[in-house]
Amino acid sequence: MPPLSYHWRALAGFSSLLIFATLPALAADSPASDLAAVILSLTPRTNLPPEADDPLRPKNIRMAGPSATIRHPYWTDDAGVDDSFGNPYNAYRRSPFGTWSNFDETKANIFPLPELLVMKGGQPVQDADMWRQQRRPEILNDFLTEIYGKIPEDTPKITWEVTVANEPGGVKTKTIVGHIDNSAYPDATPSINLTLTLPSSASGPVPVMVVIPPFGGGNDPNRGATSRGRGAPAGPSPLQQVLARGWGYAVFDAVRLQADNGAGLKRGIIGLMNKGQPRSPDAWGTLTAWAWGLSRSIDYFETDKDVDARQLGVEGHSRWGKTALWAAALDPRWAIVYASCSGEGGAKLLRRNYGETTDNIADSYWMAGNFRKYGGHWNNLPVDAHELIALVAPRPVFVTGGTQDQQADPHGEFMAEVAAGPAYRLLGKKDLGTSEMPAPNVALISGEIAFREHVGPHTDLLDWPVFLEFASNYIQAPAARN
């Protein structure tokens, strides 16, 4: 491990000054290991100056808003603000560790990535069997232990309740509730809630796209006849686009299983398993809990005669994009994954100093407790996002970003997909086919790894048509009844 003074200088050139300014009693010749302990004991920091007075604030930024389109003020730069949607092109934030956002590519790639096809002991991965039997489990264990957290072995029994309704327009809707046995801790009341919409004209079991809607709840604004929401294009909604291909569309209510907040760790499925007590450092965070619920949804689909459980896709946007990608890595029964604008903790490289960074999510309830120790210590991470994407191999994966969503770092997501390519090639599949970032709205969908950066804001709506074009190479519906 490099000396931490060097490590922190690399983080935009200011963090070593930040640390030492707060440690006047620290001896100049303290060992790096002692310094690491001191840093970890102080972070996240509580003695930060006001942002406007912070000497470490980038000099080229200014406060924008509030306005008719921007409800909350942002620090931004001369790239300006997109007034159509109220999104700063570059929204600067200060992390709890005192680090500020960076949007300068020359300062972004400060650490090398872990070798994807090299064992921890240094032995190169020779073939597909070695990948499956040795290297992939090694990578997966690091993600479980250090990044997202482990799933308990004794998760409770689930009893399924299904209500069926035929609706106008030639569709059938099933409301599915997975009742989770909470007798061990009745204060926690998690459940698995799905709404499955099926084309009634299908002649047999249909593929299903399982979607985590905006805000993670069961009220999906895209279930109408047209798309709704920021940046929504004219035309049919994702639900209508999926049904038009003869596939089913399921909505997964993530927050009924595990709330999207830190207080929910004492409730939901995590609280049930811990009986309301704090988590251990390697125990599951919220992203893993949601991914677990998605896998239980597959358990149900495998029993439903209307569903082809061999052709299931999972889609999510933003934090739900992180969830979808992690779910596909954990469970090989997902045939395809669409991770929209997933950013840090998703498809974006964790080591990359651009937009949202590890420092911004280090203390998040999304992650394992162990992940906190990598705040300010990005190069100590045992794995990175290219290895997360590689865990999905050889199955197809579609990653997207937006030109007005630089916080999620579309370029960093693209770089992760490029770096995941060797695993796909090892397994006889095609990678992106290039290491050059494509122009906005140019889709790379000729191989099993696919990418698109749409022109527009933080949304998945603009990329659904391209995803369905890509997915149709792998997913096939039965013939419709006459």
Global pTM reads 0.89
Question: Same structural domain for residues 103 and 162?
Answer: no
In the prediction, which pLDDT does 23 show? 28
Q: Give the closest residue to 12 by CA, choosing from 113, 98, 114.
A: 98
Number of domains in the chain: 2
What percent of the chain has a predicted confidence (pLDDT) above 90?
75
Domain that holds residue 12: 4-107
Question: Same structural domain for residues 97 and 170?
Answer: no
Question: Same structural domain for residues 92 and 216?
Answer: no
Angle 263-269-270 (CA atoms, 0-180°, nearest 5)? Answer: 55
CA distance 154 to 124: 36
Strand order across the beta sheet in which 397-402 lies:
158-167, 171-180, 191-199, 248-252, 206-211, 307-317, 336-340, 397-402, 449-454
Mean pLDDT of the chain: 88
Question: Same structural domain for residues 265 and 334?
Answer: yes
Question: Same structural domain for residues 174 and 242?
Answer: yes
In the prediction, which pLDDT does 482 show? 62
Q: Please check whether residue 268 lies inside any domain of the structure.
A: yes
CATH assignment of the domain containing 236? 3.40.50.1820
pLDDT in tens, 7-27: 322 333 333 323 222 222 323
Per-residue confidence at 87, pLDDT binned at 50, 70, 90? low
Q: Please check whether residue 126 lies inside any domain of the structure.
A: no
Active site residues: 318, 458
In the prediction, which pLDDT does 453 show? 97
Q: Which two tokens stand for residue 393?
A: 């191999």
Rounded to an integer, the average pLDDT of 161-177 is 91
Q: Please check whether residue 121 lies inside any domain of the structure.
A: no
Q: Please check whether residue 164 lies inside any domain of the structure.
A: yes
Q: Give the closest residue to 212 by CA, choosing from 89, 52, 326.
A: 326
- Selected residue with higher pLDDT from 168 and 347: 347
Chain mean position to CA 352: 16
Write out the DSSP string of 234-269.
SSB-HHHHHHHTT-EEEEE-HHHHS-SSGGGGGSHH
Residue 480 has pLDDT above 70, yes or no: yes
pLDDT in tens, 433-456: 999 999 999 999 999 999 999 998
Residue 131 has pLDDT above 90, yes or no: yes
